[in-house]
Structure 1
């Protein structure tokens, strides 16, 4: 349908076309739903129009697989990083979307991240929407089997790794699936505003606040530069370094339940 002249005019060509109407209104960019199902040529024309209105506008496409073909600089700026989510869920939660054991080792986790980084241009990888959950997935705490230690470790990783952390509503409070509901719509329940059923509500909320403050106060945590510096399968410890022109930050993640002396 996007090859239809009237559709293209409405979105791209005519005065006040959708592609630029909201950019001119002041929004910062576009998140493109099921963007892989639209012709590449449409996205090229869409991008040209958006960037003419605002060269800094952010165009991010939804795709669950490898999005490299759309990240050549002519279509999307980056993607919803579902590959990141899969790697994080396998390593920290140890369960796949079907609830089956998918636990990976430290080296397997690092290899999964490296594979994504190797396929994506650095500007796209360092601005990818790194999510733990969305309206199409299980809530992350449920994939952790209600284990708050696993959730905390995953959140710390998400907020200190390269990319743009995406927080699905309620995740900042440790919100879980609606009891007894299927994945969808159980993952789209009403927002948990108060601590009426979740004893970790305030604790998880404060963890997010603290990590956001740390991220904003360190240039290294918002730079594209990252390097793995430590991997130990037996101890389940993973370390990486972030750096900017003025500082370096080292992050060590212990994915076990025991104290580890490095």
Structure 2
């Protein structure tokens, strides 16, 4: 049996395909660098995340790996401080004031939604409150976690030392009631809604718009004013817009806990 030799035209086509793949890879890398290099070369001039905020002065630098040290007072809540943030959500149900509560601590990684759902489904006694302490992460997983909490009619709570940034506020929004201490840190900024954007421009824009539309529809379903997204859309990924307690109430994202006195 004789082997068929590829014709010169076939080799020419294969070379063109290989060259096109190299060009595509170069564009892919260039697009990623174009998004990242400006922030590396000219970092945000905004104040540090720990700087006090006031109305109209709420943009702060944001680096998930450089979180502020917000340690709770002993016995004040069932969550660790920000120095103990794991790379994906730590899910637990400790006893708090005689009742089990759900705690979600750490970055929201891809696949965490499935983990949270499986965890809840395995519980014999469903908690009525979720305590949040997260610098954010996967938007998709945050939305799915939020839907799981709402389906089970679980409230969301943040105490004074907690943070809820980036995609985390979408989980906060899911609570049947949503309470946040005035000193809790809640912030939003721009997100990526797809993989690399080295696609035809109309497809990349379509992906972004679809993602933003899904988030806005989700917020409305949760009873939160989608106008809170206007702050996210104009705040770049290396900065965060910290919401004042008044804004949280205005957007129905969270209210202050009721006084126990």
Q: Is the shorter-chain TM-score for this pair beyond 0.5, marking a shared fold?
A: no
Instruction: Compare the two structures and name the one with the higher helix fraction.
Output: 1
State TM-score, norm by structure 1: 0.29
Larger radius of gyration: 2
Structure number with the bigger relative contact order (C-alpha 8 A, sep ≥ 6) is: 2
State TM-score, norm by structure 2: 0.29
